[in-house]
């Protein structure tokens, strides 16, 4: 098996790579190092690899997920960030746990992703596939925006507030969590709608079937809005633009921590005791 080591562009991550390299050589695994830089990662075509090993934080993992999912390559993450919900293996665990991942002895999860489209006039633009979320928010002035929300052809809400989030189960521990949304199990087959600071207090988060097609439309006149995807890509929205989100045909294959459950990671990261 060939392994692509996808590394955050930082001194700490490169130091961790040296530890990973020791294990890869000891296990007799062929590998290639790739330092994640935006212009380079968009051109990456990882054909022929059996695993992408991410060294960095959850942001680095999200960047790798969009690439790996299109080639059906599983990911495993080594944490060099802050939270590490996705990059679950810690530096001190590399010698013990990385060999288990390389041998396929760690649990393999299939994480749902979303496809995001922008309808502008008569054009429908495909923006990409994403592991965490699509966020529609106000861009500058500290004023509420009105967002019309539809599931299929049915309007479900007018949200007056700071915007709305459409999240995957994986993204439920990211922005959606801080906006008051529930935590979904990583392999759940649902979409999560969360209003951001709604002025109408009865606007609540909704857990939707994964087959739902959710659309947002900014209806605030001259107030500008912005679409953010996985916290890394963005697009300014114009009045009349419509954002459509649905379950992607791509999935993110992820090797989970061989020794810890999802709930034990929640207890650790969220200080549940």
Let me know the angle formed at the C-alpha of 129 by 3 and 254, rounded to the nearest 5 degrees.
Answer: 40
The reply to whether 159 and 240 lie within a common domain is yes
Q: Determine the straight-line distance between the first and last CA of the chain, rounded to whole angstroms.
A: 39
Residue-number span of the structural domain to which 184 is assigned:
113-250
The reply to whether 121 and 238 lie within a common domain is yes
The reply to whether 117 and 186 lie within a common domain is yes
pTM: 0.94
Work out the angle between the directed axes of helices 94-102 and 11-26 (0-180°, nearest 10): 60
Task: For residue 202, give the CATH number of its domain.
Answer: 2.60.200.30
Quote the pLDDT of residue 43: 78
Residue 121 reports pLDDT greater than 70: yes
Quote the pLDDT of residue 153: 94
Average pLDDT of span 176-186: 96
> What's the burial of 188, exposed, middle or buried (CB within 10 Å: 0-12/13-18/19+)?
middle
Whether 58 sits among the annotated catalytic residues: the reply is yes
Catalytic residue among 58, 115, 162, 230: 58
Residue 142 reports pLDDT greater than 70: no
- SS3 at position 96: helix
The reply to whether 224 and 124 lie within a common domain is yes
The reply to whether 122 and 87 lie within a common domain is no
The reply to whether 55 and 138 lie within a common domain is no
The reply to whether 92 and 159 lie within a common domain is no
Average pLDDT over all residues of the chain: 94
Task: For residue 102, give the CATH number of its domain.
Answer: 3.40.50.10330
The reply to whether 124 and 189 lie within a common domain is yes
The reply to whether 73 and 178 lie within a common domain is no
- SS3 at position 135: strand
**Cα-based torsion angle of the residue sequence 89, 91, 95, 97 in order, rounded to the nearest 10 degrees:** -10
- Per-residue pLDDT reduced to its tens digit, 23-48: 999 999 999 999 998 777 777 899 99
Q: Percent of the chain, pLDDT > 90?
A: 84
Q: Indicate the DSSP class of residue 89.
A: B
Average pLDDT of span 124-133: 97
Quote the pLDDT of residue 221: 66
Q: Give the Cα separation of 236 and 136 in Å (integer).
A: 10
Q: Where are the beta strands (DSSP E) in 121-272?
A: 123-130, 133-138, 145-151, 154-161, 163-167, 190-196, 206-209, 214-218, 225-229, 233-237, 242-255
- Per-residue pLDDT reduced to its tens digit, 55-96: 999 999 999 999 999 999 999 999 997 777 899 999 999 999
Q: How confident is the model at residue 143 (pLDDT cuts 50, 70, 90)?
A: confident
Identify the weakest region by mean pLDDT among 98-102, 204-208, 238-242, 246-250: 238-242
The reply to whether 87 and 172 lie within a common domain is no
Number of independent structural domains in the chain: 2
Q: Indicate the DSSP class of residue 140.
A: S
What are phi and psi for residue 45, nearest 5 degrees? -130, 90
The reply to whether 129 and 233 lie within a common domain is yes
Q: How confident is the model at residue 219 (pLDDT cuts 50, 70, 90)?
A: confident
């Amino acid at each position: 098996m060939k392994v692509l080591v996808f590394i955050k562009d930082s001194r700490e991550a490169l130091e961790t790579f040296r530890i990973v390299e020791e294990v890869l050589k000891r296990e007799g695994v062929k590998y290639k190092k790739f330092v994640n830089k935006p212009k380079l990662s968009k051109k990456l075509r990882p054909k022929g690899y059996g695993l992408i090993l991410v060294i960095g934080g959850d942001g680095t993992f999200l960047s790798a997920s969009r690439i790996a999912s299109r080639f059906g390559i599983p990911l495993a993450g080594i944490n060099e960030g802050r939270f590490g919900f996705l990059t679950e293996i810690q530096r001190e665990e590399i010698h013990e746990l990385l060999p288990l991942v390389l041998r396929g002895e760690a649990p393999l999860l299939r994480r749902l992703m979303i496809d995001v489209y922008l309808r502008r006039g008569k054009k429908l633009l495909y923006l990409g596939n994403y592991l965490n979320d699509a966020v529609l928010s106000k861009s500058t002035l500290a004023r509420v925006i009105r967002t019309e929300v539809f599931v299929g052809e049915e309007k479900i809400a007018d949200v007056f507030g700071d915007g709305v989030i459409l999240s995957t189960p994986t993204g439920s521990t990211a922005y959606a969590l801080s906006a008051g949304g529930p935590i979904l199990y990583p392999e759940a087959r649902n979409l999560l709608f969360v209003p951001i600071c709604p002025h109408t207090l009865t606007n609540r988060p909704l857990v939707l079937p994964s087959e739902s097609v959710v659309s947002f439309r900014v209806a605030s006149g001259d107030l500008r809005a912005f679409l953010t995807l996985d916290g890394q890509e963005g697009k300014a929205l114009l009045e009349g633009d419509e954002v459509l989100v649905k379950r992607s045909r791509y999935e993110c294959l992820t090797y989970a921590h061989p020794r810890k459950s999802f709930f034990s990671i929640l207890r650790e990261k969220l200080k549940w005791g």
